[in-house]
Structure 1
């Protein structure tokens, strides 16, 4: 059985962003992220989540051609000091918000990962989570992450995932088993994937009776054209806010601890799950 963490004491306002970055323009995209984070903070958001690889843009040809220009370097402790992020540091400080921004990160051991950077309200930036489930051609450019991560903000435990991670029920469940009340997923869903985009993250919310923030890119040129639909889901998988398939949006919603507690009291999958749930059994025939 999994022991669910007690609910936080206070609500938490969050923002899911959908926007179009420019391939390879790390400084320009950081400035765009700062503008959007400021807009979210002005609307009361304490957590702002932007799409997958927003910093360099999710554009594999550019990521392959210019790894030096599109990567940011992380120190042994995960700290990132790239001056191109200075506008975003300032926006986090001014708005008192924590920003989750996905980037291509180069680690001291040479690994290159799709990662979530966390910019805290002091302006400090660290590489907090490396995507574990790489999709398709990402395996030619990046190394898979080695472990999960949980972010703590205002008493809320928030599991970190990136795009394809959220297609695996085990990933969201691992976050919930670590006590997560919510799950933050920067993503990059391509045009034509709307059905799966709208199903996976609602399912992860209901599977684990936790809030989910799904951020997604928009725009671009085929075959790298993205379909928006950013959303915040409640613990039953219902959208509290959802973006259109096109256009820039900052979607703000509030995590309610009372609603979380009520959902978990009514739907007890986390506490009812058996330790050997789903393990194969031998079938005997005579």
Structure 2
């Protein structure tokens, strides 16, 4: 049975430090390429940080048509896996919580978060749900809170995709983080069962200003079961061989820690 190797990064946060974020992308892309991964995803808001304060977000956001964004693309690898990277986007004065899809330094497309939290009032909701293809694998994207809404995953499934990427940032106040520690996969599993999609998530980990993030970065099968997951409290790179045929599911997975 044919499979496509996919990967997801569980990283520390990089806030208002695009250079450090790009260095991390480059290093992990090299590791993913060496492992044979065709697709590698990074957390929500990864490039500039998950910034919900409007002044900070506007200071860091990038227009995808700008020379500044072209400079970002120039720093990305020219070989290796297709990359999905969370970022803050500015377009015609509007802010978007976006995930870009890049291959070999070229922008392939983007997805804008459709379902916004109350704290994300500075952002405009996205309205489109595109899908993308790599090595015969079609996938779509939800960003964090999107996965609480069945219609967000359904739109991905309706494109003919078999994989949903959940690009997330669950850096939460400790009490909230404790409450939801084991709920994220349960919620995402519902979307898998409703649509028949596989799901891979990419999240942050670490502590900041009374907040804590544990992930999870995991792969869920179409029955909503976790088939592999990184440890909740440490950076890492998750690999999974996603079956693309019609044979029974027989996944092979592995983990690789970030030094």
State whether TM-score is above 0.5: yes
Following superposition, the deviation at residue 75 of structure 1 comes to 2.7
2:41/2:83 contact within 8 Å kept: yes
| 2:85 matches 1:104 | no
Which has a greater percent of helix?
1
Which of the residues 101, 114, 137 maps onto 1:132? 114
Q: Deviations for 1:80-109, whole angstroms, at most 9, x for unmatched residues?
A: 83313433x22xx232x10000000011x2
Aligned runs of 1:85-124 on 2, under 5 Å? 85-87=73-75, 89-90=76-77, 93-95=78-80, 97-107=81-91, 109-120=92-103, 122-124=104-106
**Larger of the two Rg values belongs to structure:** 1
Following superposition, the deviation at residue 262 of structure 1 comes to 4.4
Determine the C-alpha separation between the residues in 1 that align with 2:108 and 2:5: 22
Q: Deviations for 1:134-165, whole angstroms, at most 9, x for unmatched residues?
A: 112112x2111011111111222211111111
TM-score using structure 1 length: 0.78
| 2:62 matches 1:72 | yes
- Deviating 4+ runs (over 4 angstroms): 260-263
Determine the C-alpha separation between the residues in 1 that align with 2:95 and 2:51: 15
Determine the C-alpha separation between the residues in 2 that align with 1:123 and 1:135: 31
Quickly say closer, same or farther: Cα 1:153–1:169, change in 2 above 3 A. same
Partner residue, 1:155 = 136
Quickly say closer, same or farther: Cα 1:165–1:80, change in 2 above 3 A. farther
| 2:50 matches 1:58 | yes
Determine the C-alpha separation between the residues in 2 that align with 1:17 and 1:161: 16
Determine the C-alpha separation between the residues in 1 that align with 2:102 and 2:5: 17
SS at match of 2:125: coil
Following superposition, the deviation at residue 25 of structure 1 comes to 0.6
Which has a greater percent of strand?
2
1:80/1:125 contact within 8 Å kept: no
Task: Quote the RMSD (CA, aligned, Å).
Answer: 2.2
Partner residue, 1:253 = 240
Unaligned runs of 5+ in 2: 250-259
Unaligned runs of 5+ in 1: 1-8, 264-286
TM-score using structure 2 length: 0.86
Following superposition, the deviation at residue 34 of structure 1 comes to 1.7
